[in-house]
Structure 1
Amino acid sequence: MSIDHHELERANWLLAHGASWHMADRRMAQRLKRRAGELARREAGASESAHHESTIHWAGARFIARGEDSSDKFYRGLLLWFVIIPAVAVTVGPALLVSEVLHRLTTRMLLSRGRIPQQAPWYLAAIITLAIGVAAWLIAFRAEPLAELIVWPQTGVEVNWMPVVVLVGAGQLTILLATTGWQARRYGWPGVVVRKLSGLPSDLVAAEVDAAAHQIADADAALDEGADLAAQFDPVGEDWDYDEEPTDIDYAALDAADDDEDTHNRTAEPVQKGAR
């Protein structure tokens, strides 16, 4: 049985609660609605629609497109690919990549259990992780500076790698957990409400109706399977017509034939005695 991902509900929530200063929510809502339309057409057996709405491009393409002329767009492209993207990849790139994978895995697991992704647990875990990292730096390393500037006798910078590793690791893990919670908001999961049975008569009746419908469907499938099995063991290989009317029997003719046979036997008996 396929799992419902609630694409339409999530898209409508994003359109209703999307931020006005960027297009990310509208772009995600467009993707979700397109996916919902594809699933609906697939279930109905319809062909792909010839109507296609304009696609909202990703943030980098929109940043370049806002250039006034071709020269401005060219320099925007250089800034994007050689400054902005490398900076994001080095600072938060690994956390963003792992959070996307983690969100997909946890979403599949939660939906299979009838639950939906939540933001609060991830944000709480991020706060706890950051607090542990800062506490380790303050207590274990006694707030040791991350780097020291040396002027004499040789100018340079001395890095204290242990506290740097602890704080950077805690920071990356904090970003990972926080962005995983943000992924739930990004994909519109706050707009999905999973209905649970409350014990009311209406809910119980609805559950019983659903169970009965599944039982009827299983029974129909079993009957179809039994009919196919009987057709495989047909000894003649022909269709039997059990509705055919029985052949009419002339009982009067049969009685007349019996009377003629009795008369013939009585006539033949004296002849046999005379012969003796």
Structure 2
Amino acid sequence: MGWVTTSDRRSALRAGAGLVAAGAFAAACSPPGASSGAVDSGPPASAPATSASPPSGVAGRPPAAPSPRAFPRQPVQIAHGPRDRPRVALTFHGQGEPAVARALLDEAERHGARVTVLAVGTWLDEHPDLARRVLDGGHDLGNHTQRHLDVNAMSEAEAAAEIAGCAERLRRLTGSIGAWFRPSRAARASPLVERLARRAGYPHVLSYDVDSLDFTSPGAPAVTRNVLGEIRNGSVVSLHFGYPDTVAALPALLDELARRRLRAVTATELIG
């Protein structure tokens, strides 16, 4: 699969990390101490589509009917994929310095890995070319709300606007609202946000069962240990663009996944 890395690439990534040492985005998606356990609870969802259509009210186009073969009766909130296959999904909360985002994507691709990026709408407003960069690399692109605020604490109208705002930007930039939604500032969606996400065209909320804790800036070795100590078949890992520790940790992390014969795939490939 072309799993390679060199000291030169590590040096380049560490140099890219310096670009964001002073500018890493201030608030993390998960509060310190948040549990990284599986949260795939709730009643099974009726079989949805892997690529959701634009939400109703966006350019006057209602969501398409869900495909009956898209997902095999998955719950609404998904924390991991099947445990019987050596595949994992590295998911990145999309915000931060664009040069570092590109460096992370480049390194993943050099290792033959594909990732999932849950983008913040304001980040897409500032760097619209990154939406196409993600998709052109063979990665998944999804919705992480418009402003990256605590969506679970919002009123229904406010939360709906956060989800729809990011969905509209994704649709405008790529022609799709993306396959996945993840709430901002939380590991899982509240029942209200879950319903609003489904209404906007997202059949599932993508959570995770492994938290890298990179947003706490613990150092690259700690990020690597946090992931490798918990990851197993089917895991979904929470990582972030915009933190230098993530940049520095990625080569060693991908090398060890290759050694363990764990293939990094998109969330769509893992779950679907």
TM-score under structure 2 length normalisation: 0.21
Greater strand content: 2
Larger radius of gyration: 1
Say which structure, 1 or 2, has more relative contact order (CA 8 Å, 6+ apart): 2
